[in-house]
């Protein structure tokens, strides 16, 4: 794959001498969390600030995902980058890539993914504590934004695969909120219609346990649109949740 640099940020990276794989790989930064070593290699995330612009620099080595069409594996960032680009082409609100490249170095499969920081946005997970103390208009706006985001995602024929509160970022705007997604690694096409849609939505509702029935119905109304059968979806989602809990 040819190295990718987003045109709007190319000049900025060049001014700082960071418009290449080697420069970004060698950059000394402190990781924002512990390295992910689940796949036999490692993967780390760093915050990178260049003047007023902020990014998250993700580097990995031998951190691979495998599938039937790629039995030897590929860097997980390669899949995430493709999904970021697919979301952009489909008009699904999501994080934006600034740089992507991969290299083979001896027995290492290295990859870099640089994305724009979502400064000014808050993940839904951080908005749930103290939920009932928030003004009703704010709660309604958040629920509507989450439902509309899910509708946009599924209308584009995509299933996120990790539609969790920590992966939904929100920002206030006139008249409500706007929302977008991060962590697109597990995205796949929406193959099984309503079954996949329920499968995508149910984890969000299970993790946002502070939402009562009225609020879930508000989200479903935004997701389904006018004159939709909210009762049917409420029952389907409840059934899946009970089945998941019974298996624990």
Quick one: pLDDT at residue 1? 65
Which residues 6+ apart lie within 8 Å of 25 measured at CB?
A: 59, 110, 112
Is 64 in contact with 41 (CB distance < 8 Å)? yes
Quick one: pLDDT at residue 187? 95
Is 79 in contact with 58 (CB distance < 8 Å)? no
Average confidence (pLDDT) over 100-107: 94
Q: What is the largest CA-CA distance in the chain?
A: 59
The domains located in the chain, with CATH, are 4-116 (3.30.200.20), 122-246 (1.10.510.10)
Which residues 6+ apart lie within 8 Å of 244 measured at CB?
A: 202, 206
Average confidence (pLDDT) over 83-110: 96
Instruction: Quick: pLDDT tens for 29-75.
Output: 999 999 999 878 999 999 999 999 999 999 999 999 877 677 677 89
Is the pLDDT at 77 greater than 70, yes or no? yes
Instruction: Quick: pLDDT tens for 157-208.
Output: 999 999 999 999 999 998 899 999 999 999 999 999 999 999 999 999 999 9
Nearest-angstrom CA–CA distance, 236 and 198 = 7
């Amino acid at each position: 794959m040819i190295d990718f640099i987003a045109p709007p940020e190319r000049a900025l990276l060049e001014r700082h001498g960071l418009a290449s794989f080697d420069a970004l790989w060698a950059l000394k930064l402190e990781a924002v969390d512990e390295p992910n070593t689940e796949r036999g290699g490692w993967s780390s995330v760093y915050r990178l600030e260049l003047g007023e612009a902020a990014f998250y620099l993700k580097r990995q080595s031998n951190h691979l995902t495998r599938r039937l069409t790629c039995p030897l594996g590929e860097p997980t960032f390669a899949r995430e980058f493709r999904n970021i680009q697919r979301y952009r082409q489909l008009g699904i609100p999501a994080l934006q890539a600034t740089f992507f490249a991969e290299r083979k170095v001896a027995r290492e499969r290295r990859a870099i993914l640089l994305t724009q920081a979502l400064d000014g946005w808050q993940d839904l997970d951080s908005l749930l504590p103290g939920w009932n103390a928030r003004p009703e208009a704010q709660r309604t706006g958040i629920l509507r934004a989450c439902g509309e985001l899910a509708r946009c995602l599924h209308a584009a024929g995509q299933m996120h695969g990790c539609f969790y509160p920590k992966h939904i970022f929100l920002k206030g705007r006139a008249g409500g909120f706007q929302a977008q997604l991060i962590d697109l690694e597990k995205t796949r096409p929406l193959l099984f219609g309503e079954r996949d849609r329920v499968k995508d939505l149910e984890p969000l509702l299970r993790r946002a346990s502070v939402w009562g029935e009225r609020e879930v119905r508000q989200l479903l109304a935004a997701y389904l649109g006018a004159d939709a059968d909210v009762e049917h979806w409420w029952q389907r989602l409840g059934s899946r949740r009970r089945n998941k809990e019974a298996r624990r």
